[in-house]
Amino acid sequence: MKERDLYAKFKLKMKARDPQCWIYKIPDFLGGGKRPFDIILVSHGIPWAIEMKSKGKDATLYQAYQLLDFELAGGKSAVFKYGEDMDALMERITK
């Protein structure tokens, strides 16, 4: 499954679980370029940085750094890998 498909599935399920949440997918840049992570989400007043990974991939060192930096600034972060339990991630976010 492609990352964009993971994002679409996540957004639908997250909006069903928390209709008041705000989700923004950082656009893919034409011609490459570095993105810090894939999604910025705010649920119950808590900002989240989320990186979606398709099967067999891990976050890059740059992305891991950006996710940690986001947490140091007071937010929360997560890496979701294809095949993991999406409902468990959403439970963690909405707690």
Domain of 7: which CATH number?
3.40.1350.10
Q: pTM of the full predicted structure?
A: 0.88
Query: Domains in the chain: how many in total?
Result: 1
Measured distance CA(45)–CA(66) in Å, rounded: 20
Over the Cα atoms of the chain, what is R_g? 13
- How do residues 7-46 score in pLDDT, each as one tens digit? 999 999 999 999 999 999 998 776 666 789 999 999 999 9
Range of the domain at 67: 3-94
What pLDDT band is residue 57 in, cutting at 50, 70 and 90?
Answer: confident
- Whole-angstrom CA distances from 33 to 2, 52, 89 are 18, 17, 27
